[in-house]
A = this chain, B = another copy of it.
Amino acid sequence: MAIGAIDVIEAGTAFPSRRALHDARIHSPLQAGIAGGASVGAESIVLSGGYIDDEDYGDELIYTGHGGRDHTSGRQVADQEFTRQNQALVTSCLQGLPVRVIRGSGHQSAHSPSTGYRYDGLYWVDSYWKERGTHGFFVCRFRLVADPGLRGDVSERQIDGSGVPARRAETTILRVIRETYLGKRLKRMYDYRCQVCGTRLECQGGPYAEAAHIRPLGRPHDGPDRLENLLCLCPNHHVLFDKGALLIQDDFKLTDDVACLHVRRDHRIDQVHLQYHRSLWS
């Protein structure tokens, strides 16, 4: 088990075979596409063209989980679950662990090598969800984002309280919160109070809240940046909403079917987006 970079092997290094990847400890299993365990997280993934639902944009990947395929035809014949190797990628997301990404020539994207395999460095798991795949069954999906500075040390030398240089801190990204101009407008409408719990974080210098897109921005969801797709949430409820623990019904009742989202009259929320969000966690 090794999470993160392997010794001196740099991104871009070519390998002739799965055996060679195994020997270099870049990707240990000889067949499985995901290496790792549910509790420790994912070590590495191989993009080898096995799943037709994968999408490869180079620095951004929409990766399909493991399971539910017929061994002979390769067709999806059952739903995937967030268990075993799929859970490993969920754990990597929840804990901010980096994942090694390897592309194989069989992957057939513009970013694949022409022969063999190529180690393409570390990615972080930005989000995970479920959706109905091309063959009609639910598949687990993961958005991975490459970051060349992912494992960059935050400073050349870490100095401890006594002035003695300490070991350098290797940091990875756990979560990035993005903001749009409309998000700012929405937060003002709600006076920075969470629409779920009413919390207003009073910081030195002003209040703090986050604007959450119901149907996420960016690939593959491509949710719109419009008020009807936005919620004003405290960071805790933003995490719970993004990670599927907080679902909102069309009548704004929350997961427990008792509490209700606070919605201002001048804030029209589009039920279609709520339905999309719930569909990610069915």
Task: Decide if A238 touches B235 in the complex (CB within 8 Å).
Answer: yes
Partner of A175, one of B177, B202, B226, B234: B177
Which residue of chain B has its CB nearest to the CB of A162?
B272
Give the contact-size bracket for chain A. 35 or more
Partner of A174, one of B177, B182, B240, B243: B177
Interface residues of A in 162-179 (CB under 8 A from B): 166-179
Task: Decide if B202 touches A245 in the complex (CB within 8 Å).
Answer: yes
Give this chain's copy count.
Answer: 2
Known contacts A180-B170, A236-B234; A157/B205 CB under 8 A: no
A and B contact pairs by CB, cutoff 8 A, 12 listed: A90-B206, A94-B203, A95-B179, A128-B205, A158-B222, A161-B224, A161-B273, A161-B276, A170-B181, A202-B240, A203-B240, A235-B236
Q: Interface residues of A: mostly helix, strand, loop or mixed?
A: mixed
Known contacts A176-B176, A235-B236; A225/B158 CB under 8 A: yes
Q: Contacts A161-B215, A167-B225 known; list 12 others, CB within 8 Å.
A: A82-B204, A90-B204, A94-B205, A94-B207, A96-B177, A159-B224, A160-B229, A169-B182, A170-B180, A201-B243, A205-B243, A235-B236
Expressed in whole angstroms, the minimum distance between the Cβ of A59 and any Cβ of chain B is 10
Task: Decide if A178 touches B184 in the complex (CB within 8 Å).
Answer: no
Task: Decide if B178 touches A245 in the complex (CB within 8 Å).
Answer: no
Q: Which residues of B sit under 8 angstroms from A179, Cβ to Cβ?
A: 95-97, 171-174
Partner of A173, one of B157, B178, B187, B210: B178
Which residue of chain B has its CB nearest to the CB of A216?
B154
Task: Decide if A155 touches B224 in the complex (CB within 8 Å).
Answer: no
Q: State whether the Cβ of A80 lies closer than 8 Å to any Cβ in chain B.
A: no
Partner of A244, one of B87, B203, B240: B203
Expressed in whole angstroms, the minimum distance between the Cβ of A131 and any Cβ of chain B is 14
